[in-house]
């Protein structure tokens, strides 16, 4: 690993609000716990978790430029809420800024908000750690926390279901990757 957990946390810190940084530290701890349990590379899990919300407060127009200009970023992101952009855009910003080149970590950061069709174990762990870290208070999160102790896929399915239901009830759009992720767990 070219970057340590501490280096990754120090890198993101000035880009985040204090409460968001605290969330990030909790996601790191949660991701390490899940990585140990499900036999995923702990170093990758803690770096991906430390970096996952790096672009959370980036200017919307700056993120839009990245989506337009980097051909690896799916253009359909522009048709959906900008809240979804910080994962995929953040991953490629980090590639450029700190030379992040670990494809597994880039994938996990990219897909942490929406999930995607083919999720690796690391993708699932970062997605789930973000959802169940102890500071989260979503309806149904306790059931997902409990399930995460025994069944990674089922816990992801529950988290995706809750997110889809929440978005539909609010009358918001759902990015197709969220459905693709959900369907893959059925």
Residues that bind ligand DGI (CB under 6 A): 23, 53, 56, 80-81, 83-84, 112-114, 130, 163, 167, 172-175, 178
Distance of CA 171 to the CA centre of its chain: 23
DSSP 79: G
H helices within 38-175, ranges in order? 42-51, 60-69, 86-98, 103-110, 121-132, 141-148, 152-169
User: What 3-state class would DSSP assign to 30?
Assistant: helix
| Residue 142 C-beta: closest distance to Fe ion, Å | 19
Of 157, 135, 153, 155, give the one whose Cα is nearest residue 145: 155
Residue numbers 124-163 binding Fe ion by CB under 5 A = 130
- Taking the complex as a whole, the smallest distance from the CB of residue 36 to Fe ion amounts, in Å, to 20
Cα gap 161→183, rounded to integer Å: 10
Q: Which two tokens stand for residue 16?
A: 């985040």
Specify the stretch interacting with Fe ion by CB under 5 A; choose among 45-53, 101-109, 141-149, 173-181: 45-53
Partner touching 178 among Fe ion, ligand DGI, none, CB below 5 to 8 Å by kind: ligand DGI
127's contact among Fe ion, ligand DGI, none, with CB below 5 to 8 A by partner kind, is none
102 binds Fe ion (CB under 5 A): no
Determine, following the binding rule CB under 5 A, whether residue 53 of this chain makes contact with Fe ion.
Answer: yes
Q: For 97, how many CA atoms within 13 A lie in the half-sphere containing its CB?
A: 12
Nearest approach, Cβ of 27 to Fe ion (angstroms)? 6
Residue among 102 and 177 whose Cβ is closer to ligand DGI: 177
Q: Is 177 in the site for Fe ion (CB under 5 A)?
A: no
Residues sharing a CB contact under 8 Å with residue 53, sequence separation 6 or more, in sequence order: 12, 16, 20, 23, 24, 27, 86, 90
CB of 177 to ligand DGI, least distance (A): 7
Residue 56 beta carbon to ligand DGI: minimum distance, rounded to whole angstroms: 6
Q: Site residues (CB under 5 A) for Fe ion?
A: 53, 130
């Amino acid at each position: 690993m070219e970057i340590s957990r501490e280096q990754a946390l120090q890198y993101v810190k000035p880009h985040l609000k204090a409460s968001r940084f605290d969330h990030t530290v909790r996601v790191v701890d949660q991701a390490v716990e899940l990585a140990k349990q499900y036999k995923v590379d702990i170093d990758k899990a803690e770096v991906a978790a430390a970096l996952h919300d790096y672009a959370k407060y980036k200017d919307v127009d700056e993120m839009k430029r990245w989506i337009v200009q980097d051909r690896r970023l799916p253009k359909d992101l522009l048709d959906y809420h900008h809240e979804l952009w910080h994962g995929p855009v953040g991953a490629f910003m980090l590639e450029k800024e700190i030379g992040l080149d670990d494809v597994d970590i880039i994938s996990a950061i990219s897909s942490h908000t929406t999930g995607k069709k083919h999720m690796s174990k690391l993708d699932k762990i970062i997605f789930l750690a973000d959802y169940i870290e102890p500071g989260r208070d979503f309806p149904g999160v306790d059931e997902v926390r409990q399930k995460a102790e025994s069944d990674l896929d089922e816990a992801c399915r529950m988290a995706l279901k809750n997110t889809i239901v929440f978005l539909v009830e609010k009358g918001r759009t759902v990015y197709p990757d969220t459905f693709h992720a959900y369907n893959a767990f059925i």
